[in-house]
Amino acid sequence: MDKKVLYALLGGAAVAVAAIAYSMSKGSDETTTDDILEQLGPVERDDNRMLKFDYFLKIFQICTVYGKTQFGDRKKDMIA
């Protein structure tokens, strides 16, 4: 698979996970998206003004963990 296609798929997945995590966090008193992004520091971009891949992976990992945590909490509530 071409690297550009792989990066595009990963980017789409990251956006989808971030959107789900953001929508689930609305109205809660937990850590906000802005707080999480502040912990990453300044945005790292390459010469083409795109996010550096390592920076993108950090965002993707944070969104994945946050989404799984939120899903687990909601699942426990639904089961109860």
Distances (CA, A) of 5 to 35, 58, 61, 63, 70: 31, 20, 20, 21, 29
6, pLDDT greater than 70? yes
Mean pLDDT of 39-62: 84
Q: What pLDDT score does 28 carry?
A: 53
Note the pLDDT tens digit of each residue in 11-33.
877 777 777 766 666 555 556 66
| Helix axis angle, 33-40 to 53-79, nearest 10° | 150
How far apart CA 15 and CA 59 sit, in angstroms, is: 10
What pLDDT is attached to residue 58? 84
